[in-house]
Each structure stands twice: as C-alpha cells, then as structure tokens.
Amino acid sequence: MSVKKIGFYVGLIAGVLSISVLVITLIYSVGEKQGKKYAYENIIEYLDELKNGIQITSVQCTPTELIPGETGIINLTIQNSTQYGCNLWIGASAFSSDNKEFFNPSQDRTILLMPNALTYLTRVLTFPGNTNCGSYNLNVNLWFGRKSDPSQSTIIASATKPNVFKLITFKRNSNRVNSADVKSRTAD
C-alpha cells in the first residue's frame, strides 16, 4: 500500500471518528437538555407539593415585652403532611404598624423536616438597640433554597402573628416599665 493510500484511510477514519464524536455529543446534549427539563418539571411539582403539604400550625413567642436590644424566642410547630423529608430555612421579621420592618439573617436557621411528621422548633429574633418602642407584628417564613437569600429561595409556608411583641423603654428591678406607665404614675 502506498503512503498516499495509508494517508487517505487514516484521514477517512479520523473524519468518521470526528463525525461520530460530534453525533454522540449532540445526542448527549439533547438528552441532557431533556433531562434538565424533566428535572425542572419535577422540582416544580416537588415545590408545589411542599407548599400544599407543609404548614406552620402554631407560633408562640416569649417574652412578649422586650426592650430594644433584647431577643425574643419564637416557638414553632410545623406539620409536614408530604411523603418527603426536606431541608428548609426559617426566616423571621418584625414590622411595626407603619410597616417598618427589620430582620436578622444571621439568626435564620436551617431545618430538616421529616416526612409525615410534626416538628417543634425554636428561632430567635433580636430587636436592634435603636428600635422604636411600640407593638410589632411577626412574620415567619419557611423557605426552600439558599439560606438567608430570599432572591434564591421560594416560600413554602408562612405565618403572621399581629402585635406579638411590645417594645418598652426600660426595666426597673426586673419589672418592665413602659413610658405610658411612668406618665400615669407620676400624674397621681
């Protein structure tokens, strides 16, 4: 066989292999895209099932009277009626009657919910030292996604409790006294 014929066959074989690799790559990428679409549809269905099957059934807070800078404890009862265990995170925020909201992402908490189970959890919320006195509503959300990043998460369950925290001005001898009480006592 001449060198030209060998070169021709080597080139032909290399060309066939290149085309084969290209076709296999194309088939794989189409299959991968279909798989991603399938996975995406499954994740949407999964999230819908979580949203329909997970509820915050109870929210209790202690203490209910705080001074700015103190921490409130939020006790939650969560019912997971789905067949799935899931990792979520708990976010909480407080907002005043004029809708001034604050939250503390460093106090967000990652949780694991077991399938078909009732779960009791605690999360804290610290009021900043410069928070105005008054009544505050509480909003608690269970999120699926990146912890403390609502832009990369979706809400699975939510609960709002009105006027759950009352911020007062100061304490005296472990008895909490608010400014209205001081005014009424000094007026007598």
pLDDT score at 100: 87
Whether omega before 63 lies within 30 degrees of 0, making that bond cis, reads: yes
Give me the mean pLDDT over the 28-47 stretch: 58
What count of other Cβ atoms lies within 10 Å of the Cβ of residue 78? 23
pTM score: 0.70
- Using 50, 70 and 90 to split pLDDT, how confident is the model at 4? low
At 17 the pLDDT is 47
pLDDT tens track for 119-172: 999 999 999 999 999 999 999 999 999 999 999 999 999 999 999 999 998 765
The pLDDT value recorded for residue 170 is 73
Spell out the CATH class of 54-172. Answer: mainly beta
Mean pLDDT of 183-187: 39
Cβ neighbors of 130 (< 8 A, separation 6 or more) are 68
- Exposed, middle or buried, 173 (CB in 10 Å: 0-12/13-18/19+)? exposed
What's residue 98's pLDDT? 84
Query: For the ranges 7-16, 84-93, 102-111, 178-187, which has the lowest average pLDDT?
Result: 178-187
What was the pLDDT predicted at 172? 52
Which amino acid would we find at residue 17? L
Asked if residue 137 lies in contact with residue 103, where contact means CB atoms within 8 angstroms, the answer is no
pLDDT at 117: 96
Q: Taking the domains of the chain in order of start, what are their residue ranges? A: 54-172
Task: Look at residue 185 and tell me whether its pLDDT is greater than 70.
Answer: no
